[in-house]
Chains A and B, each alone.
Chain A
Amino acid sequence: MARPSSAARTGLEKIPTPAKVTVTLHVNGVERKLTIAPWTTLLDALRLYLDLTGTKKGCDHGQCGACTVLVDGRRINSCLTLAVMKDGAQVTTIEGLAQGNALHPLQQAFIEHDAFQCGYCTPGQICSAAGLIAEGRVQTADEIRELMSGNICRCGAYPNIVAAIEAVMFGKATDRSGATGR
């Protein structure tokens, strides 16, 4: 005998229960297929379903940059896009920057310049800096500061972050406004 549906019982018949969607992402060079609810953000897809927890969730509202990843080579905030909107895209996360055991130059420079304290913002900082370098618009430390302003560091490691990026871009750090850790 037919029972009333759970939706009818709870009076929620107007709220649809949309079908899950299938999404293919090329994450760090590997094709990954996911079947997820459409409201899954790219950030949640990476962290919850692909076990790539290097990318951090800070604010979840586009305000901190901790979730920065590269999509088709460009840096974006993964918390403000849906995974389904990036179907077919190439996604690079912090886990995809090193070549085998060799750290990415930015990773190495962040260590050498002591460019973090708690480290929570660091994956976002490094992915953002990788995007910044690829954009090729920066000539001065002032421009690095401005174009890294989408990445907040609650520990205030900014001087050393700028120094690390300068070292990778220009071969040396010119910023002397803070401790350098070299």
Chain B
Amino acid sequence: MNNFEYTRASDVADAVRRIASDPAAKFVAGGTNLIDLMKENVARPSRLIDITHLPLDQIDETQDGGLRIGALVPNSDLAQHPQIEARYPLLGSAILAGASPQLRNMASTGGNLLQRTRCLYFYDTTTPCNKREPGSGCSAIGGINRMHAILGTSEHCIATHPSDMCVALAALEARVLATGRSGERSIAFAEFHRLPGDTPQLDSNLRADEIITAIELPPEGFAKNYTYLKIRDRLSYAFALVSIAVGLDIEGGTIKEARLALGGVAHKPWRNREAEARLEGAPATRENFVRAAETVLREARGFGHNDFKIELARRGILRALAQAARGTPQSQADKRIR
């Protein structure tokens, strides 16, 4: 780890002031991603601004009947909150599919959104990587790219966003609340993370002087027909090869509303409105699921080692849609996929 100065933010305004005054400073919350990256010399902040003492650890109902989740709520507390279990089980399930109990006790809601890719070249400071060192090249294209993206890639970066929680938040159309020098703003989840394009060093649209204060969930949680299906190399404590979050609103066998988001396949949680629209107004049948999967994957492209992800994603989408339609969500304890 490099030398750094340790400071503590006393309130949100103080945190903003501190981050705005030092472009090389970083907030630290759970520390599970940042401290790891500092040990690897990938992150070298001049100063850590500890935000863990800020009063951002509440979960409250919003006026419209949704839920507001403070940025410092630990992942484990969020997954097990009675309101999440009852109304947003898709979110709870996705969180419990990720990391380990110890890490979930540490990881914060805000930090989870801003965790960086697990691309091994990003971690290996001896190799070129456009995300770590813009302009140096991408070692994964033409290199070992089994974990990498099949959708929304660019010639500059094919990394994936590793979060499970964010896939559920994308499906639920959460909003991210952020405060910066020019005040507070609310960012639609789909606008929060970025595709790599020619600026892969930027994972999100959060501004340099902004702190995430909360996530807001809309009232609809798809608690009856949902699933989070995560496919990985071992059954627990591994990042997703492909994961699928589904939320359906079904009435009399007809899908009224569909949400389908994929993890492990792109630089951000992947949604495709056209595929969802194909499901809406249609009966919940396998033929319709096949069509939706085809729409999602029409432009998918592999890079060699990760070619298998295209077929894996197709099958995963079919399975997840069937699980959600049946009302038999994937268990995160009994890992058999049914």
- Which residues of A are interface residues toward B (Cβ below 8 A)? 15-18, 21, 38-39, 41, 60-62, 65, 68, 74-77, 80-82, 84-85, 128, 131-132, 135, 137, 140, 142-143, 145-147, 149-152
Contact = CB atoms under 8 A, between A and B. Distances in A.
Contacts of A137: 80
Contacts of B236: 145-146, 149
Contact of A82 (B5, B6, B36, B235): B6
A39 B227 CA distance: 40
Interface string B31-65: 11001101100000010101010000000000000
Contacts of B335: 146
Nearest to A137: B80
Interface stretch (B102-110, B145-153, B297-305): B102-110
Contact of B106 (A16, A76, A135): A76
B35 to A, nearest CB: 5
B101 A39 contact: no
Contacts of A21: 6
A156 to B, nearest CB: 14
A57 to B, nearest CB: 12
Contact of A38 (B6, B36, B105, B334): B6
A80 B31 contact: yes
A83 to B, nearest CB: 10
Interface in B149-196: none
Interface in B89-118: 99-103, 105-106
Interface residues of B, number: 33
A128 B46 CA distance: 34
A75 B105 contact: yes
A132 B76 CA distance: 12
B4 interface: yes
Given A41-B35, A81-B31, A85-B52, A147 B5 contact: no
A76 B105 CA distance: 6
Given A18-B4, A21-B6, A150 B106 contact: no
Contact of B237 (A68, A76, A149): A149
Contact of B31 (A75, A85, A150, A152): A85
Contact of B36 (A80, A84, A146, A151): A80
Nearest to B36: A61
B102 A68 contact: yes
B4 A38 contact: yes
A143 B236 CA distance: 12
Contacts, number: 96
Residue of A74, A76, A140, A152 with highest tally of chain B CB at under 10 A: A76
Contacts of B31: 80-82, 85
B36 A62 contact: yes
Contact of A150 (B38, B103, B235): B103
Given A39-B1, A75-B101, A150-B101, 17 more contacts: A16-B46, A39-B38, A65-B102, A75-B105, A77-B102, A85-B31, A85-B50, A132-B101, A140-B333, A142-B334, A143-B333, A146-B332, A146-B335, A149-B100, A149-B236, A150-B100, A152-B237
B136 interface: no
B3 A16 contact: yes
Nearest to A69: B102
Contact of B28 (A76, A85, A128, A150): A85
A170 B35 CA distance: 38
B125 interface: no
B2 interface: yes
- Top 9 closest pairs, chain A to chain B, by CB: A150-B100, A149-B236, A38-B6, A18-B5, A39-B1, A146-B333, A149-B237, A150-B102, A74-B105
Contacts of A146: 236, 332-333, 335
Contacts of B2: 15
B30 to A, nearest CB: 8
Contacts of B32: 62, 77, 80
Contacts of B334: 142
Given A16-B46, A18-B5, A85-B28, A142 B333 contact: yes
A41 B100 CA distance: 19
Contacts of A147: 101, 333
B102 A60 contact: no
Given A62-B103, A76-B105, A85-B50, A150 B237 contact: yes
B100 A65 contact: yes
